[in-house]
Amino acid sequence: MRTGTEKQYKKSIINYSTMPTESNTFDVIVIGSGMSGGWAAKEFTGKGLKTLVLERGRNVEHLKDYPTTNKYPWEFPHHGQVPLAIQEENPVISRCYAYREDAMHFFVKDTEHPYVQQKPFDWIRGYQVGGKSLMWARQTQRWSQFDFDGPARDGFAVEWPISYQDIAPWYSYVEKFVGISGNKDGLPHLPDGEFLPALDLNCVEDFFKSSVAENYKDRQVIYGRCAHITDPQPIHLEQGRAQCQKRTLCQRGCPFGGYFSSNSSTIPWAQKSGNLTLRANSIVESLIYDDQQQKVTGVRVIDSVTKKVTEYFARVVFVNAGAINTNLILLNSTSRRFPNGLGNDNGLLGKYIAFHIYRGKISATYDGHKDFTMEGRRPTSAYLPRFRNLHKQETNFLRGYAAGFSASRNTRNNSDGYGSALKDNLAASELTSWHVSSHIMGETIPKETNMVSLSKDQKDEWGMPLLNIDVAYDDNDEKMIVDFFEQFTEMFTKAGFTNIKTSDSHQAPGLDIHEMGGVRMGKDPATSLLNKWNQMHNVKNVFITDGACMTSTSTQNPSLTYMAMTARAADYAAAEMKKGVL
């Protein structure tokens, strides 16, 4: 009887039928065209390297493929709501805040892309060129040295192999190209960046900022830094992008390029070089490992429409398929050398998945500032950087949380009466009190038991094994949510807010859309899979720079860090290629 390892190896040999030719061979292959994949494409093509980008979803081109971007509310048959029948068919994706009638075409359907939930997990995906960069929330904060020191200091996960000093210049490099609005806040635990002018907080947000500053020496309320162009610079105009119009219709795709997406920025930039080949509808089945050469020689691809299998070859492969899909591809990349997944000698591939806690929300009423209201819209609001366990362990849980904060005032209409009385009542609208709210973004601790693996007997329609997702909250998370409620209730009370209400959504992990880990970086090949350059310890020509590479999660929104890491790793890989090392 053949062993499982022998079966896997034989499968690999049978499918290894394509020979490298000029038409299917490139300098670099990038898997995925989203936030980090787009940056890899931009960097490699800009350095003169012939680059193939493989996207499993359909092609979406900037301007051309934003069908709802300029529609008026009355042009939507269901007034922006997703019909009940579609919600019932897609219970996971329907829980996403951006899944609406104007943007649901950018999200995958649950029925078409199944996975196995060992524990409840809402896997939010967007399969198209640009990935989720079309629908992201656009919040961008740097990590600090404090964040990179976290695992070593607090005794969880493994030590990061890089420091803030390593990545700081790459943050600057990315920020200038992307366009980040923000203020110079001078916070050591949330470093300043290369900012365009910030938008203003409204009067109640500014009032809360003053109240927090008056009552707490260790807490700050700042403008939420975001990837929106507020003052276009020459580099943005060269990309064909314009100033953010504050439409707050970002999930539809922005015709102005006012916010950053791969579609409006990095992918067109790479295409201008003449060095990019972009193939949509290309599901990467596995990476092809050559035992004799001791490296990956290419990738095996399934056409999502025709089901035809094709192989492409390159000197270097960047895997940027999105954290969980990157884990799936590597786990499915088996060979005689790596029977349990590419580079997986230590058995840690797919383990130590982490995410952000978004369950906790708090709201209240504020009766002050009644002589003010709001006008217009903004793409962001206020933000409170992490303040718990910063300089010492002061709580019964590890790490901490950041939080958003917003204030708004609405119009209340009286719809009583009939005829002229109803008209008069509707015309005599009045303003309500201010409504204030905040939500948690907490750091979870990577655990070996939070993991993904391949199903042994279930496959999708393309023959790929379904992914088992076994991820859950723990006691540390529960204690953190309790502390968030206690601390913000106190802050709201000191600010004079009333009718304070807390709520725990008990939403499943995944709905935060910040899943990370499974292919973590580290200093020791025995406890990690990637080195300080995001390069696989055991397969030197393979790099992972999306969320899968993260050793810990901190509390900041992660996309800016993915982009900076990708630019840094691409620069290193290109230099190694030039030297003939790769």
Q: Which domains does the chain have, with CATH numbers?
A: 4-182+224-355+444-472+509-578 (3.50.50.60)
Whether pLDDT at 38 is above 90: yes
Q: Taking all residues of the chain, what is their mean pLDDT, rounded to a whole number?
A: 95
Closest CA to 244 of 262, 232, 261: 232
Q: Show Cβ contacts of residue 198 under 8 Å, excluding neighbours closer than 6 positions.
A: 181, 182, 183, 223, 225, 230
Q: Which of 445, 471, 464, 467 is nearest to 454 (CA)?
A: 467
**Pairing assessment for the beta strands 309-319 and 25-31 based on DSSP bridges:** parallel
Residues forming a β-bridge with 287: 299
Single out the residue of 106, 105, 112 nearest to residue 132, CA to CA.
106
Predicted pLDDT of residue 252 = 97
Pairing of strands 51-54, 25-31: parallel
Question: What confidence score (pLDDT) does residue 411 get?
Answer: 83
Say how far apart CA 52 and CA 34 lie, in whole Å: 14
Q: Rounded to whole angstroms, how far apart are CA atoms 486 and 440? A: 12
Reported as a pLDDT band with limits 50, 70 and 90, residue 17 is low
CA dist 352 and 451 (Å) reads: 6
Distance between alpha carbon 6 and the CA centroid of its chain, in Å? 37
**Do residues 33 and 60 make contact, with C-beta atoms less than 8 angstroms apart?**
no
pLDDT tens digit string along 139-196? 999 999 999 999 999 999 999 999 999 999 999 999 999 999 999 999 999 999 999 9
256 pLDDT band, cuts 50/70/90, is very high
Over residues 111-139, the mean pLDDT reads 97
CB 278 within 8 A of CB 53: yes
Radius of gyration of the chain (CA): 24
pLDDT beyond 60 at 62 = yes
Q: What is the pLDDT of residue 375?
A: 83
List, in order, residues 6 or more apart from 255 with CB less than 8 Å away. Answer: 63, 66, 69, 70
pLDDT band for position 312 (cuts 50, 70, 90):
very high
The larger pLDDT score, comparing residue 283 to residue 410, is at 283
d(CA 372, CA 368): 9
Tell me the mean pLDDT in the region 11-25. Answer: 66
Neighbours of 18 (CB within 10 A): 16
Q: What pLDDT is attached to residue 9?
A: 43
* Pair 95, 511: CB distance under 8 Å: yes
Q: Is there a contact between 404 and 379 (Cβ–Cβ < 8 Å)?
A: no
Q: How confident is the model at residue 374 (pLDDT cuts 50, 70, 90)?
A: confident
Amino acid letter, residue 320: N
% of the chain with per-residue pLDDT over 90: 91
pLDDT digits (tens, 9 = 90+) for 261-295: 999 999 999 999 999 999 999 999 999 999 999 99
Examine the pLDDT at 2 and tell me if it is beyond 60. no
pLDDT tens for 512-569 read: 999 999 999 999 999 999 999 999 999 999 999 999 999 999 999 999 999 999 999 9
Q: In angstroms, rounded to a whole number, what is the distance separating the alpha carbons of residues 279 and 265?
A: 18
Rounded Cα–Cα distance for residues 325 and 61 (Å):
23
Widest distance between CA atoms in the chain: 87
* pLDDT recorded at residue 291: 94
Q: Alpha helices, DSSP H only, in 232-322?
A: 234-238, 266-272
Residue 211 has pLDDT above 60, yes or no: yes
Nearest to 296 by CA among 280, 312, 307, 278: 312
- Within 356-474, residue ranges assigned H as helices are 419-427
Q: What digits encode the pLDDT tens for the residues 479-512?
A: 999 999 999 999 999 999 999 999 999 999 999 9
Query: Is the predicted pLDDT of residue 85 greater than 90, yes or no?
Result: yes
